Amino acid sequence: MGFFGTARKLMQQNIREYGMYIALFVIMIIFTITTNGTFISSRNIVNLVNQTGYIAVLAIGMTLIIIIRHIDLSVGFLAGFLGAIAALGMADSNVIAAGMNLPVYVVIPMTLTLGILAGLITAFLVAQMQIPSFVASLAGWLIYRGAILVVTEATGTIIINDDTFNAIGNGFIPDIPDIGILPGIHKLTLILGVVAIILMIFNEINDRKKKQTYNFETLPTEMFAIKLIFISAIIGAVTWVLAGYRGLSWTAVVVLAVTLIYHFVMSQTVLGRHIYAIGGNPDAAELSGISVKRLIYVVFGSMGMLSALSGILFASRLQSATTTAGTLFELDAIAAAYVGGVSAAGGVGKVIGSIIGALVMTSLTSGMNLMGIGISYQYMVRGAVLAAAVIFDVATRNTGK
């Protein structure tokens, strides 16, 4: 098989996976053209990443939930509610009666812990009480909606004055001192990008070597080289664009960290394998010694924690907790997960896919905003893209290996 033959085979086998990247790429190109380049400007891309952040972390958690054949509708208002709790935690009790005067380093772990607890309550209803997750989380949706109103009743919007907290949604990583080269470029971001490329190449080569010691099939050398160059170019390009504005935002750092951790857990660990197994066939998994109940707690607990994180990111971005925070987040997260290739039948889906899905959806919003398209049409376009993505997914499900 020649070079193009191999390339075609890879393309056929992985069409589902590549489809999303291609879709994202096409959408970005289209908006870049229709907005005369504004879309791809550093400033807009940085904004886009920050806007995606709070949906992206929810989409990651939702991916796991859908993989195990459940759904969680409560995450949006849970995020809003926990954002308000975080705001209250930091508020000065002289200004707001319910304020707790807590430092940010206490408030963040506290909020995340509350999120885990909320997730475990849903899990209890689903695993122990055998209530369908749709209903259990719908109850949560209503309860947390009410809870936001209770918390913000006295004050309305709660303003957050903590600079550290607000930096999560608005700030950027610091730069190294100016050494006179590359003025106007964020050099630490560039350095991190280069480090990422080196680590990626090192990791890939290491992996390939290991495979070869087992005499397993690996990509032909030229394909392997092209793959490395391609991924390096993408990391390089993204880094360059980000560095052109103010560098890597803290939101991006948080989302990257969560993505990497969840991607690692789902693809490399026993826990991840067990989650895919119970999604693929819960009866077979149970008979294989995997406790389905226990994993429902783990997955919903993680969802709760990520809801808290989403609430923190959103409150920090607005520098306040509002009465409507979290509205429709859950549906955006579910849409992102489906666009990213998660299967409603369970057992199929990737964390990275859902991040791409979230980026696709935010890119649509951002691009259409720049083009001045009205909100009514934006909804319709996003709906059409969601339907198209799932149609593509179903149509390609049985191709490849």
Binding site for other proteins (CB under 8 A): 210-211, 214, 216, 268-271, 273-274, 276-277, 280-281, 283-291, 347-348, 401
Give the type of residue at 391: I
For other proteins, give the closer residue by CB, 67 or 116.
Answer: 67
- 220 or 280: whose CB is closer to other proteins? 280
Tokens 């190294």 belong to residue: 176
Structural tokens at position 316: 């920090």
CB of 270 to other proteins, least distance (A): 5
Residue whose CB is less far from other proteins, 101 or 267: 267
Residue nearer to other proteins on the CB measure, 178 or 217: 217
Q: How far apart are CA 329 and CA 23, in angstroms?
A: 22
For residues 329 and 76, what is the distance between their CA atoms, to the nearest angstrom?
5
Please, what is the minimum distance in Å from the beta carbon of residue 401 to other proteins? 6
Residue 268 exposed, middle or buried by CB count within 10 Å (0-12, 13-18, 19+): exposed
Smallest separation (angstroms) from other proteins to the CB of 307: 25
Q: How far is the CB of 272 from other proteins (least distance, A)?
A: 8
DSSP H or E stretch at residue 320? strand 320-321
Least distance CB 21 / other proteins (angstroms): 22
Residue 44 and residue 275 in contact, taking contact as beta carbons nearer than 8 Å: no
> Least distance to other proteins from the beta carbon of 279, Å?
9
CA distance 130 to 221: 52
Residue with Cβ nearer other proteins (161 or 288): 288
* Alpha helices per DSSP H over 91-220: 104-123, 133-152, 163-170, 187-213
Within a 10 A sphere around the Cβ of 149, how many other Cβ atoms? Answer: 14
Answer yes or no: are the C-beta atoms of 191 and 176 closer than 8 Å: yes
Task: CB nearer to other proteins: give 4 or 216.
Answer: 216
> 113: how many CB neighbours lie within 10 A of its CB?
13
Residue 361 and residue 394: Cα distance in Å, rounded?
19
- Our CB check for other proteins shows the closer of 127 and 361 to be 127
The nearest distance, CB 130 to other proteins, in angstroms, is: 12
Closest by CA position to 86, among listed 146, 141, 20, 152: 152
